[in-house]
Amino acid sequence: MGGHRRVEREKEERQSHTEVIRRKNLSPMAHRLLVRRIWTLSVKDLRCLPASTSSFSTSLRSSTTPLSLLSPKRTLPRSLPHTSRREVSFNVQDHEDFTERVINSELPVLIDFHAQWCGPCKILGPRLEKAVAKQKGKVAMAKVDIDDHTDLAIEYGVSAVPTVIAMRGGDVIDQFVGIKDDEALDSFVSKLVGQ
């Protein structure tokens, strides 16, 4: 199973960074930098990910030598089951992180575009977390601070916050702007999960 999965994942990652390159229309230099980043997780990224994430461990398995040099120093488990204990709610770090954990996510993802200065976002945030937790790992939530990731937010057509986008397999299937109550949120999330 391991070998086949690794080939599959490598193909996916190649496709994902091709897609990023295509979307970003990168110059050769930036392309090289991007390739280096995707295939070699930086130490900072390692620190940001909590110990139990399996998305990290799958990358560990599929990456080339530089990462395996780092792994002995880490106390993270090397053989976690593929889909269990996946990080359900996380903050998007950068464009590459977004591609990897949102566009290429095996789970459907809710993307919460928010801002520090947005009052309603502070109300919706906890409600979203609750609705996502109710799904017990069937849906993930990616949080995007639009001041830190302005280009990404603009790319997804965000104009007012909070904006929540429902994504499955890299496609936007639904979205809403503003606050929703718990009932409406549960129904929105259930629809995304496909119940």
Positions that interact with other proteins (CB under 8 A): 27, 29-30, 115-118, 146-147, 150, 154, 159, 161
At 71, list the tokens.
């792994």
Q: In the bound complex, what is the minimum distance in angstroms from residue 151's beta carbon to other proteins? A: 9
Q: In the bound complex, what is the minimum distance in angstroms from residue 28's beta carbon to other proteins? A: 12
Helix, strand, coil content of the chain in percent (nearest 5): 50, 15, 35
Amino acid of residue 112: D
Q: In the bound complex, what is the minimum distance in angstroms from residue 155's beta carbon to other proteins? A: 10
Distance in angstroms (rounded) separating the CA atoms of residues 193 and 195: 6
Q: 89 - beta bridge partners? A: 141
Q: Residues, the chain, total? A: 195
Q: 1 vs 29, which CB is nearer to other proteins?
A: 29
For residue 72, what is the DSSP state? G
Distance in angstroms (rounded) separating the CA atoms of residues 108 and 165: 11
Distance in angstroms (rounded) separating the CA atoms of residues 142 and 66: 28
Q: 10 vs 96, which CB is nearer to other proteins?
A: 96
Q: In the bound complex, what is the minimum distance in angstroms from residue 62's beta carbon to other proteins? A: 29
Q: Which residues are catalytic?
A: 118, 121
Q: In the bound complex, what is the minimum distance in angstroms from residue 117's beta carbon to other proteins? A: 3
Secondary structure of residue 19 in the 3-state scheme: helix
Q: 8 vs 147, which CB is nearer to other proteins?
A: 147
Distance in angstroms (rounded) separating the CA atoms of residues 20 and 43: 22
For residue 144, what is the DSSP state? E
Q: 20 vs 115, which CB is nearer to other proteins?
A: 115
Contact 113, 161 (CB under 8 A): yes
